[in-house]
Every structure is written in structure tokens, then in C-alpha cells.
Amino acid sequence: MSIAVGAEGHNVSMRYSGLAILANGLTGNRNWTEVWRKPEPKPSYDVVIVGGGGHGLATAYYLAKNYGVTNVAVLEKSYLGSGNVGRNTTIVRSNYLLPDNIAFYERSMQLWEGLAQELNYNTMVSQRGILNIVHSDAQRNAYVRRGNAMRLSGVDAELLTRGQVRDYLPYADFDNARFPIRGALMQKRAGTVRHDAVAWGYARGADSRGVDIIEHCGATGFRIEQGVIRGVETNRGFIGAKKVGLAVAGSTSRVAAFAGLKLPIEAHVIQAFVTEGIKPLIDHVVTFGAGHFYVSQSDKGGLVFGGDIDGYNSYAQRGNLPVVEDVTEGGLALFPNLGRLRVLRSWAGLLDMTMDGSPIFDKTGIEGLYLNCGWCYGGFKATPASGEAFAHLIAKDGPSDLIKPFRLDRYARGAVLDEKGMGAQTNLH
Amino acid sequence: MRINCPYCGMRDVAEFTYLGAADLKRPDPSAADAQQAFFEYAYLRDNPAGPFAELWYHGGGCRSWLRVVRDTRTHETLSAALEASAEPGAEDG
Amino acid sequence: MAKQPFRLKQGGIVDRSKTLRFKFDGRGYLGYQGDTLASALLANGVKLVGRSFKYHRPRGIYTAGPEEPNALVELRSGARLEPNTKATTVELFDGLEAASQNRWPSLKFDLLSINSLFSPFFGAGFYYKTFMWPASFWERVYEPLIRRSAGLGRASLQPDPDHYEKAFAHCDVLVIGSGPAGLMAALAAGRAGARVILAEEDFRFGGRLLYETLSIGWEAGLDWVNDVISELETLDNVRLMPRTTVYGVYDGGTYGAVERVNDAAQVPHAHIPRQRSWRILAKRAVLASGAIERGIAFPGNDLPGVMLGSAVRTYLTRFGVAPGKRAVVFASCDDGVETARVLAANGVEVAALVDTRKGIAPDAEAPWPVFAGAVVERAEGGRTLRGVAIRDSSGARLDIACDLLAICNGWNPLLHLTTHLGGRPVWDESLQAFTPGTLPQGTSVAGAAAGHLSLSESLSDGARLGAEAAQHLGFDAVTVELPAADEKKRTQSDSLWRVGASKSFAFVDLQNDVTTKDIELAKREGFGASEHVKRYTTLGMGTDQGKTANVVALGVLSELTARAIPDLGLPGFRPPYAPITWGAFAGHHRGQDFRPKRLPPSHVWAIENGAVFAEAGPWLRAQWYQRPDELSWQESVSREAAAVRRSVGVCDVSTLGKIDIQGPDAAAFLDRVYVNKFSTLKVGRARYGLMLREDGFAMDDGTTSRLGEQHFILTTTTANAGKVMQHLELCRQVLWPELNLRLVSVSDQWAQYSIAGPRARDVLAKFVDAPFNISNEGFPRMAAADLTICGGVRARLFRVSYSGELAYEIAVPSRYGDAAIRALMQAGAEFDITPYGTEALNVLRIEKGHVAGPEINGQNTARDLGLGGMVADKDCIGRVLAGRPALLESERPIFIGVRPLDASAQLAAGAHFIPNDASAVAANDEGYVTSVAFSPELGHDIGLGFLKRGQQRIGEHVRAVDLLRGADVECVICSPVFVDAEGERQRG
């Protein structure tokens, strides 16, 4: 079978700008081209990334950009961006407690900050700030410890008084709350990013550098010979690869099982919700400290909110009513003025929940097979740094300093990264 | 989701707390490789997509730990039984 | 106030004897009981009701139901303001006030309608390609502008004053929808004896029979509906639930529904909730939700005056309202003739019936002009429709003046609920529509929802499936006679999704202003999969959830890509089927009732004594007892702590978890769950214990007492009471079922008070019944006993000390809790007994260096806590993994005490330790402060925390740096035990 590919497989990507919109608008918008090509898979690649979500696409982008590795395919079992990159609540932040997590997520924040220009794609990075509301002295002490850890790592953090919180959120419940608002920890540089644009922008950036993005191509197995990876079996046939990177959070256990790996991961479902669109109301990301609820308002006007995972292993991509009620109750406890808004849609994503709540990057016992998984709640905000670090891991066959703490052996060694101190039980993180 | 508790009958999932995989076999702490065995016991998970035997605690009811077999793809509960099959001391009356 | 110029002289099922006043945009109008806001607006000739999302185009009323994309209003005002309310679903009530939204300065003249001039530049996804330069402008300029122009209505800034509640319902058969199929299903299942719930979204039962002029048997459809409802009302096993939207299907036969109990009033009646959220547990369900008519994309199809044919018939027949004076019907199916007939019968002039089908024979009898094989090419008008341009079968163009255009383009089964559990619909080529595919377990679909569009099919589907559901559950079969229905099998349309290609707007999604051009652009840019089209163009993301748009969009996309509709991706829907009020989901769990409050036994007494309370998980605990002369909390807390050290204090510690453990293997069990040994504990003694999680980190601590050879009482911290109980049950039932013991939580059964201070024994001596020997010899430190007090009240006494003073905890049955605190206060009066709260408790434990929640935070091992010495040489939960190499590293922060070098300086919990001469950066971070208190005993702040190599650094100086609050305090590292290091006081 011969496969027709363009000379270099490259796409001549047009530069986006206000001027381009003007010029195209005046000519009937007929000259816009595909944001990424739809190539047939080649027989083999230097690197195959399994998973065409945010992390996989970002990895391909940085492989091409930072390491010149362009003979790369990204395999996506459904349509591009159909997984968690399009099923999250779009929050980005680096307000962690443990120094290793702070450093990693702060790297991600820095990449977010220049991403629209870097990709020439408006990912709508909106650093509107996050407020973690405090409801007790003990909680304040814990947040102070966290905020100071952030500041020591050079990350912005502020402690707000009750009065300052009131200035930000005058309609919050300051008068009749079961758990009174006593202040907040704020990271002003945190915010939201338009999630789909991240997938599309990285896809465009990777594609224009020669990466083949192959949709509707699901991995069904790995070809491994003498402990060395040879390629990926897919529903569209075998695709050879010198190196294979897994970026399939939510399905990691299933895909890793093809290679015989058993991991410290459970699949869990998390629901999220959006209300009907309203005029600007909530200008920040806000988390409730006495229950499971967080919210931000999309640029389109809907309040995007979520809470805890449903709490049981699941691959069903849908949740149940107890959590819906728990989340909405938390929302009204914080903002009693939202009672008459209507919830428009709900959706659910599958999380790789690890045993310490922090992600995993590592080589595996199989030469040429690399892992990027275990993102728990933190996958979306990690996208740029994860792609950058995973590209390094694959290209250099070893982790950068930034992700050394995230290796698999940390559990056996006892060097867990347990932000909340919940222990080896995934659904508590 | 609902679980048919052997003591209490069909109950809403909100009454239960989830732990994870059933069939916990705590390793021998005196074995030479105890630390590795405990690591695997405490940290590694099969995480199957399909029927899965798991532990649920009926904290909002009889406080039994149940062994529930549930399909993780569909959330269908296939069976629910008491995990403590042996009831020591029961013969003492 | 105006009359109702478009109200027909007769007809409709509104109550013309009940006139209702309402206001729209400040102007007063009249309507009737039984109207919706939409029908009442149309009756008054109000056609322009809103502005569209992006281009601010004038919009009117397009449908007569929950699929409405255009007629969105702000209902009510002030704290009850409800944005984005569909006028087509609002039941009219007297005094209703509504306003148009998303327009400025007024509905008729909206400045942002200028946006449509720039539409070539505002195509799908244009914002991804621009607003990037200069970088800082995105957040400072562009995003705020976009946010302000987006959104629709406004949210209230005041708390919602209304009440909501939650309820559970159980039934054998849930019937969703009360059209002909639903009614027959309810009748069949109901007559068989099954417990039936019939849920109807509308405020009237009947479904399409409310607006179709069909007869069933010998009677009019509506009379048949009333007969069936009357019969169902007589059946005790049938519950009728109008105004109830079943919004979601969940696992295990769980259906979410919201009932609008009291929404059609300005203010809900007292003691009745506005809405009620139901969790319906149904063994079987019959979905009879009907079908929704779909539009056609052509230029001008969004003008006020353009309406779905079913809506036109609804306004005429159900509400007695003419939505226009001169109508054109644009049809691709037989509904066109019916619509024209109903229009004409009600006196509306039918200017033309434009039927896309070439094959239809023009009806010689038809009193209106029929154009077969013709299309409406565009609709013309300004703020409302003025006419249409049609292209006839010969290709000639005609302009026809009209103020109403009815579109009849076939039906989409309303199958949302069939997909909530992951089922996907199937494409029916003959219907040119999706029909239900895999169904949720126990669900069947009847009538139009199944794609069976005729009345006779609906009736027979309903009868059959209702009976089947009941039979399946063991009820005897009952035959339900099928009434004759006169409706022929209805033909579904040619597939017509769009007309022509033009430079004007041809809308697919009216609410989100998605046009055929947007879909074309999305396809051109590679967003050709149906999910990509949605995400790129925002198609179907509006408050109507794309109910009239999605299939049309797929049709357009199918033509553009030359791929069959089902190959573009099968639609799936997620709850809620229709937007659901946030308040209904939350029910009464808001404000003070967000979570239950737990009150310790001394609560009432504490209120009487000036207690200031704090939330401790679900508990409200006395934080301190404010005296009138005390100006700050610090003053009160220091007084209380000092009183304990000086004389005696009393504190309610009932919130601690208490677990009663009995059985021959109870001691062996405790040896396995605690790091230290309990099998060696003598009867009548208590011991402090520390338990770990299996991963080796500390989980909880507390004292456990041995009351008998096989009987222990274990205490947990307040926060972990439930968690420890669950853990111990896991150990007992799952890990070690061979051990013979039982556990029971007795936390709520015992009220418990700590009596601490040098005079504690003197107080208790007055309390215990003779001959109990409470002397130091008779009841030494760490003694525990069952006894009686106050002349026969059963009690337990433990000589344990958290404060480091001579101290006891006395437990009495909870019902004596209030009496006990009063009696203790009385007995202690001569020693100036002082009640102390959780703050003083905290001061006292910090002075003694006892670890608590801030230290046992799940991140520290026994070794980290300085309690490594407690770990006995035996197996216990967590022992093996606590020995992992990284947990034994010398650099791990270890528990220490800390005090400021300058006694007047303040310490802060959450500050980090930085070496004296080092800069405050993460690389120099050596640990952190967990707990801080002002010690009245020492006269300065003291703290506990964790510091690298801490125990080897006693006496060293480090800084406690709190960058958040700008504090940088030089400290001395010391033993965590600040007071009575030798522990003499508690022995006395």
C-alpha cells in the first residue's frame, strides 16, 4: 500500500491576525485553510504519541519545536481534543503546597502566559485570579503555609481578609453562612484558558512543523520485541515507531495494560456544569472552602462550575445525582444569589487518579515506551509544561530536573507528593 | 446508582462510601520482601474497564463492608454481598 | 391597557373569565388564565421580544415550547430576577413582569445590531485568530468587551428569597409525557395495578392533543384527554405530576425531575416551595416525550413572524391567538396543509402554501394558492416579517406580502433521555431523523418519541408498552381498548435543510447566531466532525440546547461534506434535558441549613454563659466564654487557660469519637491497629495510642481505656471520628475476619467533660458516689473506671490529661450532659471553676507539645511527629511502609517547639523556617510552623512545627518567615514541651 504524503508532509499555515480576518472577510472567507491536515498514517515514525488531547498535542509541538523531532504522529482514537482537554473547567493556576508541584505548575503558568503569541492562536488566557475562600482558623493556617511555600518559590500569592473578599465578591454570603467566610488565599496570576483553543492551537502548531495528527486511530496494542518498543497496533493497522509516548490520561491503565504495566492509578469520573449565559457577574475563579465547589464565568457568559469526583472507579464518562447535589449546594452556600439561574449542561471526564494525587512522568521497563499520566484534577492546567517536559523525556530519553520528582518509583521509596495528606486512596485526593 | 445491601435492601449510593478493589490480602509483614509486597498492596491497581469487585462501606446503614461487583463501564451493579463471610464468635451464641 | 387585538373571538383552552394583567418592558397588557407569556404577548400583537446573542438581530417567538431559541426574557425583578426565561414556557400569572434582554438602549433600537454589518469578520471562531496584539490588550481591552457584549440576561445580586425542596418518589412505571402515547401507557399500567407516575412538563396534560384538531373514538382529542385524566385521578396507584420536567436519567433506574410547584405567582405562597426536586426511582419507564419540529435555514428565517408550523397551530388552537394576519406556509411535508387549514379555519388569510415536494397534487379544493416544488428563498422585513420571496417550480421568483411564515419541515423525536446513559440514536432514512437506539435498561419509547408520528401509532404504542411494563413487573395483563383515531400515517419530509446560497444570514442555530456560512467555514478549516462544528461555531450551546438546530446543522454539514448524516457523528445528550434551576438542585441545603449542625450536650448552657462558637466540622463548639469586661478574645482565652493552670477548668470534649470494642480478640485487634501495644494494658487503665494508615503516615491519636478483660473504649479526635470507625470496621470485617470482636460507635451516647487543674480532684470528689476512691493512690494517673455519680448516675471516669495538669475526663449518658455541666459548675464554684473553650484547650496542648490536627495532617509519620519511640516491635497497620527509605531520610522535617527570640514578637502558623543568614527562597526552606499560641504561663508566643533535623537543633536560631503578611521573626528552636517538662503536675 502506498501512502500519498506531501513533499515534507508540511502544511503551509497562514498567519492569523486582525488583518488576515479583514482581508479574508472581504473576500468571502473562502481562503481560510484547514487548521491541521488529515493525513493517512505513514508506515513508521520516529515518535508516536498515543493520545490526541492537550498533552499529546503539546508534546508533539515541543518535540518539533524544541528538539527538531518532526517525524512524529499523534494518534487520537476519536476526534481531536475529544477527551479531557475539552471536558474540564478551564482553570489554570500554580497555587500548590509542595515545592515540586509548585515548580512544575508554575512552569506551566509561565508557558500559558505567552501561549497565544507562541502559537499565533488566541487561547484566551485570562489571568483573572483565583480566590480560595477560607472558613476557619485552621484552614487559614494551612493556606498561609501554602501561600508562603508559593512565595518562597517565587510564585505570587496573597492573603485576603474577609473585608477584601467582600470587595471582590460582594454578593457572596457574608450574613447567613453556615461556614462564615473568613478570608481567602489569592493567586492573581491564575485564571482560565479557552480549553478547545489549546487543543486546536497546539494541533496547528505541531501540524505546521510536520507532525501527522491522525484522528479516529485508536491504539489496540504495542509491538514489543526483546523489551524494546517497535510500534503501535491500531484500528488502522500497525504503525512503526522508535519511541512511543503515552498521553492518554483517563485511559492510562487500559492502554498501559497492552504493555503489561500495572500502575498506581484508578480511573474516576468528575462532573462539571455550566449555567445559561448571563452578563458578567463573577470576575475571578473562586473555590469554596467548606465544601466541594469551584466556579468561573466563561467569556460567553455561562458560569462554569464543578466539585468533587463521584468517588468510585468509572470509565462511563458520566456521574450521578449525589455529587450534582453536593456541588450545587456548595455553590448556593457561597453565592445565594445564584438560586434562580439555570444549569444548562453537565459533562464528565475520566481522571487518572494516582495514589498521592500528583502526576507521573517516567520511562518504563520497555525501552522506548514513555509514560505521561496520573493527572488527577490537574491535567488541563499542566498542558504546556507537561508537553514540554514529556518532549524532553522522549527526546533525551530521560527526565528534566523539573519532573524528576514525578517518577514512578516515588511510591516504593516513600517520596510521595501528597498535597492534601490523604494517603494511598485515590478518591480522597 | 443503587446498591442492594444484604442487610438493608436496595439503597441509594449516597449512603455508601467507596474504598476500591476488594479481595484485600494484606501481605506477610515478616516476609523478606515485605516492603515491596506492601508497596504493591497499597499502591498498584488493576483498574479494569468492566466487571470489578470492590469494597463499599454502608456507613449510612448497617456499617457493613460490602463486596460489590460493578461494571465500571456502565455502573451496573452485578452483585453485593457481605465481605465478612466468616462471623467469628457467632457460634458462641 | 390595550385589549388583545390578536385574540380570536372564540376557541382555545384559556379561561376567558379570568383576565390576568402583566407587563412587558414596562408596558401593561392583558391575558387569560391558561396563557403562556408567549401566547399572551402574541395576543397583544407583540412580536419583537428579544435580540440575538451575537448580531443583536430582532427576534420574536419561534416555537410554543421548551425548544424556544429566541423569546428569552428577564422574568420578575430584584431578588427574584430570572434571566433567559423562555416566554413559551412561562405560565402567565397576574402581575407578571418581564423585560427584554441583551439590548441597549432599547429593544426597538439596539446599538449593537451594528454587529451584523461586520458579520464577514465575525464568522465562526474569528476570535481565535485575533485579539493577540498587543498581548496585554487581550485582558485589558478585548476580553472585557467580549464579556460585556456576551451573556444574555442579568443575574440578581441578592439572595434568592424562595424555598426549594427535595423529595424521593418510588414507582413501578414512570411515564414521561402526557400526549396520546403517554396517556395510554399510564392508563394501561395504571389499570393493571402498577404504581404509576405520569410526569408532564407542561401545566396541562395532553401533549399534541392540546393543539391538534384530532378526534379519538367519537370525541374530540381534548375531551378524550380529559376523560383519561379523570379516570387516572380515580386510581390510587397513579400519581399525576404536571409541571414536572424529567431532566435526567441516572444509574439504577434513577430519574431526576423538577416540579414547578408554585412558580406561576409573583411570590410563592407561604409554606410552599417554589420548586421541588424529585429523585424518582422507577422500575420501568415509558418515554412518551413526543417530537420537536425543525426549521429550515434560509435568509431571514430568524425574523419575528417566522414560526414553526406546530407553534402556529398551538397559538391558534390551544390559546385562541392569531400569530399574524396574513400567512405563508412553507412545508416539506403534510403538516403544511394542516397548518394552512387551521389558519384559514381561524380566519387568518393564507397567502400561499409553498411545498417543496414536486409530486404533490395541488388540491383543487384548497382555497389558498399552492406552490408545489417551490421554496421560500428569503424572508424580508425590518423588525418584523413583511413578506417572503419564493422560487416556484419553474424557477420564477414571486414576492408575497405576509406577516407570518409557518415552517413545517418534519419532526425530530425528542429522545434526549434515551442517551443519558450512553445510548446512541440511530438514523432513520425514511424519517430523515434520529430515532432512539440503545435504551436505558427498563425503558421503552412510545409514539412520536420513537419516530411513530401518527396518532393511531401513538395510542397503540402507549397501550402496548404501558401494559408490557406492568406485566413485566408481575401485574396481570389488562386489555385497554384502542380507540379509533382518524389520523392517517403522517409522512415525514423530503430532507430540506437549507435554501440556496446567499449573502444574507441563513440561521441554523437562532439563539447563538450560527449561520450556514459558519458551518461552511468550520468545514473549510477542518472542523468537519459534528462535535468540532459544535465547538467551533458554538452551535447548540444556547439555552435551547440546539433542540431546533442540531439536526438541521448536520443536514447542512452532510451536504457540504457529501457524507451521510450518521457518518458525521451520532448525537448524544447529557443531563439536564432542559435547563434546571440551580436552587432546585440544592433544595433546602443553603444558608444556615447548608449542612446539619451538631451541638454538644453543653450547648444550651454554653449560650447562657457567653460562649462564642466556632465550626469544627459539623460541630459548633464553644471557642471561648466571653465575659462582659473582656475586650478581646485573647483576653478571654488567656484567662481560661490560666485558670486551668491555677485552679480548675471544665471543657466539653463530647465531640471526640468514642468506639466501644468488645470481644475475646479486642486486645489483639488494638495491637494491630495502633503502633503501640494495648494487650499489655491492665484493666482499669488508659493509654495514649497512635494509629497509622497502611502507607505509614499518622492517621489519628487518642486514649484507649480497658474497662474489662475483653472490653475497651477507644477515643478518636473530633475530626476523624467517622473515618476511624470506618477504618476499624474495614480491619475487622475485611482484613482480619478471624478476630472475634465487635465495634460500636458510642460517640453520641456519652457526654464527656474534661476537668483539669490542681483542684480537679477536689471538684470531682464532691461528685462521685461513695465508696469510689478518687485519691491519687486509689485512682492514679491513667486510671479508668465505671462508677456512679450524683447519687446513682452511671458514669465513666478517666484520669487523662491533655493540659498537663491533674485532669480527668468524666463521661455520663448524653441525656445527663446538660445536668452534668451545671452540677460540675456548682460543685466547682468554691474553687472558681472556669469553663474553657477550644481556644484555651489549644493553648494548653501547645504548651504541653501535644500534636493535634495541624500536626497529624496526613503528611507526617510517627517518626516525623517525634513519636517514633512509641512504635512497638510488632506488626501493625502502616509499620512496614513507614520504613520506606525516603521516610527515614535525615533531612525530613521533625516535630519541634519554637519561641520568638524577642518575647514580644508574634509567631504565625504557616510561616516557614529559613536559616538566619539565608535568603527567603524555596531552596532554603527548612520547615514550617503548624500551631501557634500566646502562652499566658510564659508570657510570650510559642509554636510547634516541623524542621529539618529539628531534634538535633534545639537552641539554634532560625527565622519564621511569613511572606504573606510580611513577618520575619527570629526564633529559638526548643523542645515542644513548654510547661512542666517533667510532667509532675499531672501525677499530683
How would residue C366 be classed by pLDDT, with cut points 50, 70 and 90?
confident
How would residue C616 be classed by pLDDT, with cut points 50, 70 and 90?
very high
- A190 Cα to chain C: minimum distance (Å): 13
pLDDT tens digits along C806-832: 999 999 999 999 999 999 999 999 999
How many Cα atoms are found within 13 Å in the side-chain-facing hemisphere of C9? 4
3-state secondary structure C798-811: ECCCCCCCCEEEEE
Kindly list the residues from chain B whose CB atom is less than 8 angstroms away from the CB atom of residue C668: none
Kindly list the residues from chain B whose CB atom is less than 8 angstroms away from the CB atom of residue C251: 1-2, 13, 75-76
Dihedral (CA of B33, B34, B35, B39) sign? positive
Closest Cα to residue A74, out of A250, A199, A259? A199
Q: What is the mean pLDDT of residues C216-237?
A: 96
Q: Taking CB atoms and an 8 Å limit, are A411 and B39 in contact across chains?
A: yes
Q: Which A residues 219-248 touch C at CB under 8 Å?
A: none
pTM of the model as a whole? 0.96
Q: What is the mean pLDDT of residues C950-961?
A: 96
Lowest mean pLDDT among C489-498, C744-753, C807-816, C825-834: C489-498
User: Prior bond to C576 cis, omega within 30?
Assistant: yes
pLDDT tens digits along C828-843: 999 999 999 999 999 9
Q: Is it the case that residue A6 has pLDDT exceeding 60?
A: no
pLDDT tens digits along C510-538: 999 999 999 999 999 999 999 999 999 99
Out of A18, A148, A345, whose CB is closest to C574? A345
Give kind and range of the element (H or E) at residue C617.
Answer: none
pLDDT tens digits along C187-218: 999 999 999 999 999 999 999 999 998 899 88
Question: CA dist C75 to C91, C153, C155, Å?
Answer: 11, 10, 11
Q: Is it the case that residue C491 has pLDDT exceeding 90?
A: no
Q: Is it the case that residue C460 has pLDDT exceeding 70?
A: yes
For C10, which DSSP code?
Answer: S
pLDDT of residue A66: 98
pLDDT of residue A405: 98
Q: Which A residues 270-299 touch C at CB under 8 Å?
A: 275-281, 290-291, 297, 299
Kindly list the residues from chain A whose CB atom is less than 8 angstroms away from the CB atom of residue B20: 266, 313, 425-427
Q: Would you call B34 an interface residue with chain C, using a CB distance cutoff of 8 Å?
A: yes
- C648 Cα to chain B: minimum distance (Å): 39
Closest Cα to residue C466, out of C227, C148, C237? C237
Give kind and range of the element (H or E) at residue C504.
Answer: none
pLDDT of residue A1: 33
pLDDT of residue A344: 97
Q: Taking CB atoms and an 8 Å limit, are A316 and B72 in contact across chains?
A: yes
Q: What is the mean pLDDT of residues C931-945?
A: 98
Kindly list the residues from chain C whose CB atom is less than 8 angstroms away from the CB atom of residue A279: 148, 151-155
- C127 Cα to chain A: minimum distance (Å): 7
Q: What is the mean pLDDT of residues C15-23?
A: 97
How would residue A10 be classed by pLDDT, with cut points 50, 70 and 90?
very low
> Average model confidence (pLDDT) for chain A?
95
Q: What is the mean pLDDT of residues A403-407?
A: 98
H helices present in C269-415, as ranges: 309-313, 335-345
pLDDT tens digits along B40-93: 999 999 999 999 999 999 999 999 999 999 999 999 999 999 987 545 554 443
Write down the number of H helices and E strands in chain A. 11, 18
How would residue C570 be classed by pLDDT, with cut points 50, 70 and 90?
confident
Kindly list the residues from chain A whose CB atom is less than 8 angstroms away from the CB atom of residue C136: none
Q: Taking CB atoms and an 8 Å limit, are B72 and A314 in contact across chains?
A: yes
pLDDT of residue A97: 98
Is the separation of the CB atoms in C458 and C452 below 8 Å? yes
Is the separation of the CB atoms in A219 and A257 below 8 Å? no
What is the rounded (10 degree) CA torsion for C894, C899, C902, C903? 180
- C535 Cα to chain A: minimum distance (Å): 7
Higher per-residue pLDDT: C477 or C925: C925
Rounded Cα distance between C985 and C805, Å, is 5
> Average model confidence (pLDDT) for chain C?
95
pLDDT of residue C926: 98
pLDDT tens digits along B27-37: 999 999 999 99
pLDDT tens digits along C648-700: 999 999 999 999 999 999 999 999 999 999 999 999 999 999 999 999 999 99
3-state secondary structure C547-575: CCCHHHHHHHHHHHHCCCHHHHCCCCCCC
Is the separation of the CB atoms in A249 and A351 below 8 Å? yes
pLDDT tens digits along A224-244: 999 999 999 999 999 999 999
Closest Cα to residue C288, out of C196, C168, C191, C422? C196
Q: What is the mean pLDDT of residues C222-230?
A: 97
Q: Is it the case that residue C913 has pLDDT exceeding 50?
A: yes
**Cross-strand partners of C686:** C705
Give the number of other CB atoms < 10 A from CB of residue A26. 10
Q: Which C residues 499-558 touch A at CB under 8 Å?
A: 517, 521, 524-527, 529, 531-532, 535-536, 538, 541-543, 545
Angle between helix A195-208 and A54-67 (nearest 10)? 40
How would residue A3 be classed by pLDDT, with cut points 50, 70 and 90?
very low
pLDDT tens digits along A181-228: 999 999 999 999 999 999 999 999 999 999 999 999 999 999 999 999
pLDDT of residue C490: 66
- C44 Cα to chain B: minimum distance (Å): 49
Strand-strand pairing, B2-5 and B9-12: antiparallel
Q: Would you call B42 an interface residue with chain A, using a CB distance cutoff of 8 Å?
A: yes
Write down the number of H helices and E strands in chain B. 1, 6
Q: What is the ipTM of this complex?
A: 0.96
Q: Taking CB atoms and an 8 Å limit, are C737 and B86 in contact across chains?
A: yes
Kindly list the residues from chain C whose CB atom is less than 8 angstroms away from the CB atom of residue B19: 730
How would residue C3 be classed by pLDDT, with cut points 50, 70 and 90?
confident
Q: What is the mean pLDDT of residues A108-136?
A: 97
Is the separation of the CB atoms in A122 and C128 below 8 Å? yes
Listing DSSP states for C621-687 in one string gives EEEEE--TT--SHHHHHHHHHHHHHHS-EEEE-TTSEEEEEESTTHHHHHHHHBSS--TTPPTTEEE
Q: What is the mean pLDDT of residues C19-37?
A: 98
Q: Is it the case that residue C90 has pLDDT exceeding 70?
A: yes
What is the rounded (10 degree) CA torsion for B45, B46, B51, B57? -10
Which residue is associated with the grid cell 497497620? Answer: C877
Q: What is the mean pLDDT of residues C564-588?
A: 93
Q: Is it the case that residue C315 has pLDDT exceeding 90?
A: yes
Q: Would you call B24 an interface residue with chain A, using a CB distance cutoff of 8 Å?
A: no
Q: Is it the case that residue C364 has pLDDT exceeding 70?
A: no
Residue of A nearest to C150 (CA): A300
How would residue C2 be classed by pLDDT, with cut points 50, 70 and 90?
low
Q: Taking CB atoms and an 8 Å limit, are C158 and A414 in contact across chains?
A: no
How would residue C493 be classed by pLDDT, with cut points 50, 70 and 90?
low
- B80 Cα to chain A: minimum distance (Å): 15
Lowest mean pLDDT among C567-581, C631-645, C932-946: C567-581
Kindly list the residues from chain A whose CB atom is less than 8 angstroms away from the CB atom of residue B39: 411-412
Higher per-residue pLDDT: C914 or C133: C914
pLDDT of residue A8: 43
